[in-house]
Structure 1
Amino acid sequence: MNSKIIHARLMNVPLAAIAAAIISFNAVAEQNQALETVTVTAQAANASSDIERQRNSNKMVAVQTSEAIGELPDANVTEALQRMPGVFIVRDQGEGRFVGVRGIDPNLNASTINGVSLPAPETDSRAVAMDVIPSDLLSSLEVFKTLTPDMSADSIGGAIEIKSLSALDRDGRHFKLSVENSYSELQEENSPKLAGTFTDRFELDGGRELGVAIVASHQARNFGSENIETDGIWEKLTAVDGSEAFGAVEIEQRDYTITRERTGLAANFDLRLSESSQLYLHTLYSDFSDEEERQRNSWKLDEENDDPASISASSAVWEDAALEKSLKDRLEEQEILSVVFGGEHQLDQWGIEYALGYSQAEEAEPHRRDTDFVQEGLLLGYTSAGEKPQMAVGADDLEAALTAANYALDELVIEDNFTEDEEISFRLDFSREIQLAGKPSELKFGLHERRREKSGDLNATVYDGFGADYTLADFAMGQVDYDLAAFGPGVNKGALNRFIDANLSSFEVDEAETALGSARDYVMSEDISAVYVMNTIELERAQLVYGVRYEATDFSADGYRVIESEEAVPGAEEVAEDVYVSPVHYQRDYSNLFPSVNLKYDFSDNIVLRAAYTESLSRPSFGYLNPSPAAVEYDEGELEVEAGNPALDPYEARNLDFSAEYYADRLGMFSVSFFHKRIDNFIVVADVAGVVDVADYAGSLPVDDAEILQPVNGDTATLTGAELAWTQGFDNGLLLRANATFTDSEASLGLGPDAERSDDISLPNQADLVGNFIIGYERDAFSLRLSTTFRGERLLEVNMEDAGGDRYEDDHMQVDLSAKYRFENGLQLTFSGVNLTDEPLFVHNAGYNGQYEEYGPTYVLGLTYSTF
């Protein structure tokens, strides 16, 4: 028996031609009475498959299959999604975590896996940090930009559907094993990864067939970042000598060392009972841990509430300032479990689908330790402002600032935090083929139930007495490796932890600060009941989908009201000296009706036109709804508060969409779409100190200066945009993919005519430009991808009194590279580079530093063996 393996990189050949070539080849083989095996590995076909699924959809959608995802250096679901039209990502430590669609806040998306909503393990988020899901677990990603009534209405930006592997989608038994190592240039650290996939189909009695797919992935990544950021905002300050300029009173230098581990497991079982009946059980488990060591210098320039001695546009000096050195030692562990059991059956004229899902996510921070050492009475300041302020110490104080023995052990905070998010869901859908006005159509209706509960058990113990006068010299390490500036000595984690473990029982507890840091527990429940009816009509060259969905929401929240006061607070319990706590309960029920119409029109064999009108909503993030304040800090007349607002209304949107898509006979596609959204009750995080009663947090204490950050509903916002997408393959092996989404938004804060600042802003967290550009090259066994992703500037926080205090995240452009070589024995060698241009994160107000963080590039070398 002869065997031949043909590796075809067919950049511009339609799938029909590939199939014809295989048939022709087999015919020749039969004539020669020799059995030949042909394997076509056409990576261009991946793009063709994505395009075909998009073309056939009755909604506006972008599709990416697992094969296309594997062409780029994307370690998790979030980073894979960033390549799709209109999608951008929000990063943490340089890695993608949250996903936004059409430039809109990630909290305004819906995310499901195998049809079941994903929970959010973070304390304050509704948006799912999908970096906990390895890309190896995926079958496909779909981003829906218009909705039909059979979909949940909680999506203004887009609905993201993650489909995990099914063995019934493949023939026979297959497996894949991948090993790789990544290298962080900034940290000079190596990080291994191992992933494996197994699928098989089993013939059972009675013509039934069972598909089993098992996927496992594990990575331990060692990396980090360097950061300088401002605690608060830059605002106009007046110096002792009478000079005035924009300045900041607390600036922090931070150096992060991180070990991030991800373990993903999926086991999917699909049982085909007959051609018209199928059962399935899909499971996903993801374990994520983040071990973080943060060295920090805090330049507390107005430690004694003093004005600067002098100030200019680029420099300032304080004569009685403090320098604090801190260590954060934190392990964060997250788990996500998703299980869904369901079935699909065709019974004569009726179709029935059902699914029972359970999803659970949790986050734990066990024994987190934040330790501060402080030196006071220094001459401190900065010699440049802008993106990266350059900090400076007076010449006479320089030696003291570099001497570890001058930093006294000031405070230790130990936290034990646990958050859980749990949801049970059920859906039942019926469909029937009918004739409507002489045209074939499908009537579909059903009900969906979701029962969700999110809770937090947050505990902090603050120690400020240690039985002796300890200094940084007792726990010092050498100079911290920090490229942004000279950092000085840091804190030795091992020596400090040994000291804490041996002496913790003798430390003195700050009862007031401990009470303030621990009265943050909450329980929030959200029950959603929905029914819908929709009709799909097949016309001669068009398809019309219309219907209505009704959703009823029952929300409740339990937490605590916390007040620091010298006088008793009626109805509250004094849990520590001057700290009063009382339980609070909020209850709210509301319902909405969501009509929608989607029209698809085949103008010609190559041109598809679409139009849609939909209505949707997005419920506020759980951090915004939390009735317990995240932080209440009072210090000598200065009050700082971070609080939620359980009385928030949900976003409500009316959406118009139009698109035209051109599909080439060969591999190629061009589309242009326009969208307009009118959004009521949009939410903005604002400093509301000027419009709320500070006594709600400080009681009878005198307040000279207050910052109270709280989410509030704005009035009305509009968002208008256009989206372009282009894919084209060429005979020489070149593949180009480009997309760009342009948006313009206007939002009204509803401040009234007496407001000191402008009432008009852009929609919070919205990016005005999102784009991707990918150059691919295929030749024989070699594959190359060079990709660029871009996200424009977006507004993060609003200062209700002064627009100069509004906080923005600067635009971000990142370049990544992936190269692959496939050997004839099934092995594939991969090299990739991520963030090759070392793109930083920059947050600012009025152009001045809010946060500047560098991550450096990462390089990955991998080897894969596959029978796929």
Structure 2
Amino acid sequence: MKFHLLAGASLASLAAVTAALPAHAYESSALAASVAVAGEVVHGRVTNAAGDALPGAEVVVRATGQRAVTNTQGEFDLVLPTGTAVLDVRYIGQPSASQTVNVVQGGTEVAIALGAAEAATVSDVIVTGVITDGVARSLNQQKNADGTVNVLSADAIGRYPDPNVAESLQRVQGIAIQRDQGEGRYINVRGAPSSFTAVSVDGVAIPAVSPTTRAVDLDTLPSDIISTVEVSKTLRPSQDADSIAGAVNIKTRSPFDQRRLAVSGYAGGSYNDYGGQDYRGGLTASNVFGANQNFGALVSLSYSETNRRPDNVENGWVLINRTTAQGGGQVWGLENSLFKDYETERTRKAATGALEWRPSEATRVWLKGSYAQFRDDEFRNTLNLTYSDGALQPGSTDTSATFNNARIYKQLRHRTQENDISTVSLGGEHTFANGLVWDATLSFANSEQTYPHRDELVYRSSATQLSYNTADHYQPTYSVFSEPTGFYLNAGNYSFRENTFRSNSTEQDDVAFKTDLELPTVIGGREVELKFGAKYSTREVTADEERFRDRTAAANPGALATLLSDRPSQNYDYNLGFKFDAGLVSDYFDRIRTTSTNPDPAAGVRRVPQSITADYTADEDILAGYAQAKFDLGATNVLVGLRVEKTDFEGSATSVALSGAQTPVTVDRDQTDFFPNLTLRHSFSDQLIGRFALTRAISRPDYTDIVPRVLETTDSGRTTVTRGNPDLKPTLSNNVDLGLEYYLRPLGVVSANAFYKDLSNYRFTLVTDNVPYVTPTSTVAQVTEARNARDGHIAGVEFNWQQTFDFLPSWASGFGVFANYTLTDAEIKTSRAFAGRDTFALPGQSDETYNAALFYERYGFSARISYTHRGDFLEAIDATNPGKDLYVEGRGQLDFTTSYDFGNGVEVFGEAKNLTDSAGVRYYGVKERTYEYEKFGYNVFFGVRFKL
């Protein structure tokens, strides 16, 4: 019903627009209604006085109002009748210019330079400086886009201390990030879950690296290899529909950006407050060749190494049923406390390359590729106080308890995670003499996640008494650290418990072919740009996991004392004793690996159900087609169209019963969805732009949720079942967007954008007790699976203010400001109540996010101080108990950057990150039940940039 309402609204809008056309537009034949535009193609390029391309410049034919917008290379095409035409060019941050063009048969080429000496008499201020130039590039592309778009240029990104794409995007209004050990990993756009945002590189869709989500790990992609990042918050029919929140397209550099030999790079090092030294560097080189300089090549390289030593304490909370002797009733209590001492080395390697051939201004062919690798090599010493191994004593409360016969575990884990993302695209585009444009692209994308090491050695203490007090939930007290005999420090109190070996590998391959045909026509005397396209993509996913646990005497490496180093282990103010000797434990792992990972069931070390039910394969084919029309009604630019996507899915997994029986199961399903679209852009004036859009989008289920995997386990007669749900439906969203943008002279914008997303079939994980489920040991079970909520919504408003203070006198005119603020409201409603509630917050949604930055740029010197903040948000829902909903506490961070340009292509710069030493906090239900408290410290980086 919701789709029909939106489709009806969109069709009604189309009817209204059509009615506005002159009556003579309608003929007896549909073919007669469209005639090709008579004229010749004008190929143009807009640059500044230095010859740098100006993307997003608006080119208007003075006599007719016909309009074009330059691409990232500053290029545009117009179809004009032969003769003389005057082109007016407008670009925020540069003086406007006009140029007379003599249009001749066979095509015309024109070059327009803004800010040249002959234009110096205009009142507009010419933007100079890296920060302001980056802002100008972004604002011009945003202003002249069909829909609501935010753009980050490479220059703007480089002025923040953001090492990866996720952290760069946190500066955009309406975007917040989720962190891992202080670094951004996933993004939440407009309060939506991270899986609601699709990510592409040069238009090539990137599969996720994780087997459990479609969300892309953006910490894998460094920020220094890109040209621009474009966030489309309202989709066009020509874009893939799988982006409810917004589509992120990362554009890499082109050799035709500068059309000359260009070499640039940077290098530097830093000090990490919670770690050692860090290193980063990058190099980009490009050139154009040939007699007509119509062949171009580019290569870009990036490398970074980060050493991290965050402090981390985690407390696992449970609801405890006290016996009469313990006081009766229920209290919240800890089942364990983990003190984690990390030694982590993170490296990022990336490369992009491009070969482009432009035999004429009408034809271009390209081969582009990108590769990024993220490697996290981590040794983690852990002191684990396990209260649940003991017996609760009388007198416990929600903040304190004592347990007799509890245990302490000392563990060393060596985990190496490797993410690899690569893309290759081969494409071409040709503009015919009548203005018809045809393009086609064949692409391949691959994402892999592997764990070469996921090894752990565990020792366990003899029974002891453990107490805690969490009244100060950020700094709890634990009896073990004040116990006079130092029980936990005595290695003789520990004995070998087990080793575990775990390996994961996930690979996703995506092959796609897309083609588009753009035809300028005349309908009823009105110029209309028709565009048609089709895309076919096929994705193969393979996920494999193996788990081993060895507790045999043969696996015992000996006394704990023989494996400890003389290096103290410290976490906040907690003395954890001595660290394991990583070299000795690694030698042990290498020595015992073959025995402890024996796949023979008789060896008893392979964890069979867990190793099998995490495995799956999936094949997803999507066939899409669209048609759209773009035309002007006075000062209103209209885009209307329809996209259709047919999805065929096949998934295979294994069902493992309590008896151990393994049954391979395969399911297949198909679905066709329609996505109508109406997008309006209205120019109230050259500075005031209004926007309105009705769109529809989709989010397909995570593969692990829809493959037919089943795991049955039992403990003390209680059966638990974890299973996929092949009947799970994709989430659909009908979207309404409304915006108003006022562009300030000489450089700035004040804007407000409101949005509403009506969700149907939102997916959430449900844990249900006492479900009828017949097994040899019981007739009911606790079942965990993904379900669809009947409806939900995301609503919000974004405010944005950017401005340079050129009106200030003399040196003070170098100041400027960036500020944005986003309010969102979101919820989902289920078909029935769980634990007394049928309405839930949306995971990943913060009520408010904001950014504020003050910058100064003058005389070659630039500096920026910036603060970013997001409010609390829900991370995971526990449908059986609201007190176990997992939240992430709101967090703010203060950063500072500065640089000095010597004017000869050399620039020195410095960065200071997380000057507030803000903690990362997660909690269950209420803040007093802190689950994780983690600090990362500040980072100070110094380096040098150069351009040739």
Normalising by structure 2, we get a TM-score of 0.83
Whether 2:364 is the aligned partner of 1:283: answer no
Q: Is the 8 A contact 2:199 2:249 kept in 1?
A: yes
Q: Does 1:511 align with 2:604?
A: yes
Establish whether residue 855 from structure 1 lines up as the match of residue 936 from structure 2: yes
* 8 Å Cα contact 1:388-1:849 kept in structure 2: no
Deviation at 1:40, TM superposition (A): 5.7
Amino acid at match of 2:345: T
SS in 2 for 1:801: coil
Structure 1 window deviating more from structure 2 (496-505 vs 790-799): it is: 496-505
Cα deviation digits, residues 687-729 of structure 1 (max 9, x gap): x141545767xx63899xx876543222210121111111110
Shift of 1:387: 3.8
Label 1:691 to 1:798 Cα distance change in 2 as closer, same or farther (>3 A). farther
SS at 2:558's partner residue? coil
Give the whole-Å Cα distance in 1 for the aligned partners of 2:790 and 2:368.
42
2:535 is aligned, of 448, 467, 474, to: 448
Within the candidate set 691, 714, 737, 1:610 is matched to 691
Decide whether aligned partners of structure 1 residues 411 and 646 sit closer, same or farther in structure 2, where only a CA change above 3 A counts: farther
- Secondary structure in structure 1 of the residue aligned to 2:843: coil
Residue number among 147, 156, 177 corresponding to 1:68 in the alignment: 156
**Deviation at 1:13?**
9.3
User: Taking structure 1 as reference, are residues 242 and 560 closer, same or farther at Cα in structure 2, changes over 3 Å only?
Assistant: same
Partner of 1:622: 703
Return the match for 2:728 from 640, 648, 668: 648
2:634 maps to 1:540? yes
**Which residue in 2 is equivalent to 1:31?**
none
Contact kept in structure 2, 1:308 and 1:318, CA below 8 Å: yes
Task: Look up the SS of the partner of 1:292 in the other structure.
Answer: strand
Query: Is the Cα contact below 8 Å between 1:309 and 1:318 reproduced in 2?
Result: no
| AA matched with 1:216 | L
Of 296, 312, 332, the match for 2:417? 332
1:443 Cα deviation from its structure 2 partner: 0.7
Which deviates more, 495-504 or 597-606? 495-504
2:232 maps to 144
Structure 2 partner of 1:677: 757
Amino acid at match of 2:793: T
1:264 is aligned, of 336, 350, 375, to 350
**CA distance in 1 between partners of 2:687 and 2:531 (Å):** 30
| Structure 2 Cα separation of the partners of residues 624 and 40 of structure 1 | 52
Name the CA distance, whole Å, in 1 between partners of 2:727 and 2:573. Answer: 43
Match of 2:95, SS state, is helix
CA distance in 1, matches of 2:289, 2:323: 78
1:50 aligns with 2:135: no
Question: Which residue of 403, 409, 431 maps to 2:518?
Answer: 431
Residue in 2 aligned with 1:833?
912
Residue in structure 1 matched with residue 616 of structure 2 by the alignment: 522
The structure-2 alpha-carbon separation of the partners of 1:670 and 1:641, relative to structure 1 and needing over 3 Å to count, comes to farther
Asked if 1:296 corresponds to 2:382, the answer is: yes
- Where does 1:399-414 land on structure 2 (aligned, <5 Å)? 399-414=486-501
Equivalent position of 1:358 in the other structure: 444
Of stretches 213-222 and 393-402 in structure 1, the one that deviates more from structure 2 is: 393-402
Cα separation, partners in 2 of 1:232 and 1:212, compared to 1, 3 Å: farther
Code of the residue aligned with 2:789 in structure 1: it is G
User: Once the 2 structures are TM-superposed, how far is the Cα of residue 446 of structure 1 from its aligned partner?
Assistant: 1.1
Structure 2 CA distance, aligned partners of 1:394 and 1:53? 59
CA shift for structure 1 position 518: 1.7
Task: State the Cα deviation string for residues 335-389 of structure 1 (Å, max 9, x = none).
Answer: 1110001111112332101110001111111242111111131101212253454
Partner of 1:87: 175
What secondary structure is seen at the aligned counterpart in 2 of 1:498? helix
Counterpart AA for 2:936: Y
2:572 corresponds to which residue? 483
Distance, in Å, in 1 between the alignment partners of 2:526 and 2:310 is: 61
Match of 2:506 in 1: 419
1:648-678 residue CA offsets vs partner (Å, 9 max, x unmatched): 2111100000000101231121110111111
Give the whole-Å Cα distance in 2 for the aligned partners of 1:786 and 1:377. Answer: 53
Question: Cα 1:93–1:821, aligned 2, differ >3 Å: closer, same or farther?
Answer: same
| 2:105 corresponds to | none
Give the secondary structure class of the aligned counterpart of 2:486: helix
* Corresponding residue SS for 2:649: strand
- Check 1:605–1:650 CA distance in 2 against 1; reply closer, same or farther (3 A cut): same
The residue number in structure 2 matching 1:383 is 469
Partner of 2:306: 221
Say whether residues 1:248 and 2:248 are aligned partners.
no
**SS across alignment from 2:831:** coil
Matched, 1:322 2:416: no
Q: Is the 8 A contact 2:94 2:127 kept in 1?
A: no
Rate the CA distance shift 1:756–1:85 in 2: closer, same or farther, 3 A.
Answer: closer
| 2:674 corresponds to which of 582, 593, 598 | 593
CA contact (8 A) 2:186 2:215 kept: yes
Is 1:181 the equivalent of 2:269? Answer: yes
Contact 2:751 2:801 in 1 (8 A): yes
1:763 pairs with one of 839, 842, 845:
842
Counterparts of 1:425-824 in structure 2, within 5 Å, are 425-467=512-554, 470-477=558-565, 478-504=567-593, 511=604, 514-519=607-612, 520-563=614-657, 565=658, 568=659, 579-628=660-709, 644-686=724-766, 688-690=767-769, 692=771, 700=777, 709-731=784-806, 732-752=813-833, 755-824=834-903
Give 1:865 deviation, angstroms.
1.3
CA distance in 2, matches of 1:533, 1:363: 37
Structure 2 contact 221–350 (Cα < 8 Å) conserved = yes
SS at the partner of 1:16?
coil
Aligned residue in 2 for 1:9 = none
- Determine what percentage of the aligned residue pairs are the same residue: 28
Residues 388 and 551 of structure 1: CA distance in aligned 2, closer, same or farther (over 3 Å): farther
CA shift, 1:273, in A, is 2.0
Is residue 348 from structure 1 mapped to residue 433 from structure 2 by the alignment?
Answer: yes
Report the alpha carbon displacement of residue 445 of structure 1 after superposing the two structures with TM. Answer: 0.8
Residue 479 of structure 1 and its aligned partner are, at CA, apart by 2.8
Report the AA paired with residue 602 of structure 1. Answer: S
**Structure 1 contact 627–646 (Cα < 8 Å) conserved:** yes
| Structure 1, unaligned runs of 5 or more | 6-11, 28-37, 569-578
Deviation larger for 723-732 or 120-129: 120-129
| 8 Å contact kept, 2:127–2:133 | no
Pair 21,550 (structure 1): closer, same or farther in 2 beyond 3 Å: closer
1:393 partner letter: V
Letter in 2 for 1:725: N
User: Which residue of structure 2 lines up, in the alignment, with residue 573 of structure 1?
Assistant: none
Distance 1:317 1:459, change over 3 A: same
Change (3 A) 1:640 1:462: farther
Partner amino acid, structure 2, of 1:588: R
Task: Give the TM-score taking structure 1 as reference length.
Answer: 0.90
Contact 2:701-2:728 at 8 Å conserved across structures: yes
Letter in 1 for 2:374: F
Question: 1:563-584 CA distances to partner (integer Å, 9 max, x unpaired)?
Answer: 3x3xx4xxxxxxxxxx343222
Compared CA separation, residues 866 and 339, structure 1 to 2 (3 A) = same
Structure-2 separation of matches of 1:776 and 1:793: 28
Distance (whole Å) between structure 2 residues aligned to residue 240 and residue 562 of structure 1:
41
Q: Is the 8 A contact 1:93 1:224 kept in 2?
A: no
Distance 2:366 2:596 in 1: 56
How far did residue 812 of structure 1 move?
1.6
Q: 1:198 to 1:391 in 2, by over 3 A?
A: same
Is the CA contact 1:715–1:750 (under 8 Å) kept in the aligned structure 2?
Answer: yes
Report whether the alignment pairs 1:171 with 2:171. Answer: no
Secondary structure at the counterpart of residue 583 of structure 1: strand
Q: How many residues align?
A: 823
Structure 1 vs Structure 2 CA RMSD = 2.7
User: In 1, are the aligned partners of 2:480 and 2:486 still within 8 Å (CA)?
Assistant: no
Give yes or no for contact 2:370–2:423 (8 Å, CA) kept in 1.
Answer: yes
1:208 shift after superposition: 6.1
User: CA separation of 1:22/1:300 partners in 2, compared to 1, >3 Å: closer, same or farther?
Assistant: same
1:125–1:507 distance in 2 versus 1, CA, 3 Å: closer
Deviations 1:173-218 (A, max 9, x none): 111121111221012x0012221011111134xx460121210011
